[in-house]
Amino acid sequence: MNQPFRDRSRTRSGFRCWSPAVGVFYAVTFILWLVGRSVPGLADDLVLRPGQVTLEGFFTSHLYHKSFPLLALTLLAMSSAVILESRWGTPRFVAFYFSTALGTALVTLLSAFALGEEAPSCGAMGVAMASIVAAGYLYPEHRLARFAPPAKHLAWVIVFLLGTYLVLVLPPGSTGKPDLFLLPQVSGPGFALLFLCIDPWCQRLVEKRRARRREQEKIKVVAIRHRVDDLLEKISSEGYESLTRDEKAFLRQASKHYRVD
């Protein structure tokens, strides 16, 4: 599996602080938890219900947590996302986040249909595990803290523990009606690996597009240069007043944006 195009070789430990998308995730997740506890009935609109799927629930279910232990575990595990965003950049991390979040939501709906599960689902544990796996794979020597082991060891330990928790806390077919259906979120690491497989191909397409755009800009600059040279020759031989209105406007516009190397 190829690593993403940007920043493949950097494996230095320590946090980089510029992670606005992760900060927004922390803030929105915590605010939704507070509001969900304060406003009666709002929680029903924020979760993903297999039998009553709404657009709002589909997109907000991975930002809302009903229980504080799951909220705390998710926020702790999402600290690995700081590594990804600081090294990838915010646009690529946002693409990673939505691909894993919406992917686990689809798996939840398919699993609920296959198992006849009616319990709602919410939480970003799938995204958190995906972030841990991606950080551990791409930046194996990175440490979440000075006292923590390298990410390549810590990632699989945390994923195993969280996955085991999700499997045991609400096993399918258990007696009684569970409050939440969290088992499909163990698919998060799979979506992370899928993203890492597709990402280099996407980056090559982006680089080709940028290279094509740079080539077009270069051709445009050469064309402007030639026309300016022709107009300067015309001014030299016939005078400035010989220029048409369009030619004078072109020279004024070119003087603002055109620079001779």
Average pLDDT over residues 60-77: 85
Kindly tell me if the per-residue pLDDT of 259 is higher than 90. Answer: no
What pLDDT does residue 18 have? 66
Rg of the chain on CA atoms, in Å: 27
Kindly tell me if the per-residue pLDDT of 16 is higher than 60. Answer: no
With a CB cutoff of 8 Å and minimum separation 6, the contacts of 127 are 62, 78, 81, 97, 100, 101, 104, 188
What pLDDT does residue 173 have? 44
> Is the model more confident about 2 or about 57?
57
Over residues 117-166, the pLDDT tens digits come to 888 888 888 898 888 888 888 887 766 656 666 666 666 666 677 666 66
Do 46 and 60 contact (CB within 8 A), yes or no?
A: yes
140/114 Cα distance (integer angstroms): 37
What mean pLDDT is reported for the chain?
79
Domain definitions of the chain by residue range: 20-209, 214-257
Under DSSP, is residue 121 helix (H, G, I), strand (E, B) or coil? strand
DSSP category for residue 183: G
Global pTM reads 0.70
Residue 171: phi, psi to the nearest 5?
Answer: -65, 140
Residue 248 exposure: Cα atoms within 13 Å on the Cβ side: 7
Average pLDDT over residues 68-77: 84
CATH says 20-209 is which class?
A: mainly alpha
Kindly tell me if the per-residue pLDDT of 49 is higher than 70. Answer: yes
> Is the model more confident about 242 or about 1?
242
Kindly tell me if the per-residue pLDDT of 192 is higher than 70. Answer: yes
Under DSSP, is residue 48 helix (H, G, I), strand (E, B) or coil? strand
